[in-house]
Amino acid sequence: MDIPNFILLATEQAAERGGFVGVAGTLGLNWKLFIGQVINFSVILLILWKWVFRPVSGALENRRKKIEDSVAKAEIIEKQLQETTAIREQQLRKTAAEAETILKKNTEAAEKAKAELISTAKHESEKILATAKITIETEKQQMLREVKTEITDLVVMATEKIINEKMDEKKDKELIREIITNISK
C-alpha cells in the first residue's frame, strides 16, 4: 500500500469516527477521544493532588519544619544552659568570696570581743582587789582602834581596882593622865 493511499484511508477512517480531517486526522486527533483523555487525566490529577501529593508533601514539610524548630530550640537550650552554668559558677565564686570575708570579719570581731572581755575582766578584778584591800585596811585600822580603846578601858578599870584604895582623887587623876599620854604615844 503506498503512503498517500494509506494516509487517505486513515483520514477517511478518522473522519468516520468523529475525528478531524487532514493532518490532524492522520495523526489520530479525535474530539471524543481527546475529551475522554482530558477527563481521565483530570481525574488522575485530582486524585494525586488531593490524596497523595498534598498530604504527603504536607507531612514532609511539617516534619521538616518540626525538625528545624527542634534544632533551633536545641540551640537555644544549649545556649541557655551555657549561660546558666556561667552565671551559677560566677555566683558560686561570689558566694565563696563573700563567705570568706564574712568569716574573716566574724573571726576578727570575735577576737576583738574576746580581748575586750579579757581586759574588762582584768580591770574589774583589779578594781575588786583594790577595793578589797582598802576595806581590809580600814577594817584593820578600825579594829586596832577599837582594840586600843578596849585595852585602855581595861587598863583603866584594872588600874582603878588596884589603885582605888591607896590613892586619893588627885593622885589618881594624875596617874591616869600620865598613862593615857603614854599609851597614845
Partner 1 sequence: MLAIPPLAAETIFHIGTFPVFNTYINSSIVLLLFLTLGLMLRKQSREIPGALQNFFEAILDVLFGYMDQVTHDRKKSLQFLPVVGTLFLFILISNWIGIFPGVGSIGRWLPIRGAVELVPLFRPANTDLNMTLAMAVLGVALSHVFGIAAIGFFKYFNKFIKVGDIVSGFKKGGMNIFVAVVEFGVGLIEIVSEIAKLASLSLRLFGNVFAGEVLLTVIAGLATFTAYFVPLPFLMLEILVGLIQAVVFAMLVLVFLTMATTEVAESH
Residues lying near partner 1 in the complex (CB under 8 A): 9-10, 13-14, 17-19, 25-30, 32-34, 36-38, 40-45, 47-63
Closest distance of CB 76 from partner 1, Å: 23
Phi-psi region of 88 (alpha: psi -120 to 50; beta: other; left: phi over 0): alpha
State the residue for C-alpha cell 530550640: 73
CB-wise, 16 or 168, nearer to partner 1? 16
CB-wise, 53 or 83, nearer to partner 1? 53
CB-wise, 3 or 169, nearer to partner 1? 3
Closest distance of CB 60 from partner 1, Å: 6
Residue 114 makes CB contacts below 8 A (sequence gap 6+) with none
Q: How far is CA 170 from CA 166, 174, 175, 183, in A?
A: 12, 6, 9, 20
Q: Which three cell numbers stand for residue 81?
A: 544552659
CB-wise, 38 or 99, nearer to partner 1? 38
Residue 64 makes CB contacts below 8 A (sequence gap 6+) with none
CB-wise, 13 or 80, nearer to partner 1? 13
Closest distance of CB 69 from partner 1, Å: 14
Closest distance of CB 78 from partner 1, Å: 26
Instruction: Sort 174 into a burial class: Cβ within 10 Å, 0-12 / 13-18 / 19+.
Output: exposed
Closest distance of CB 100 from partner 1, Å: 56
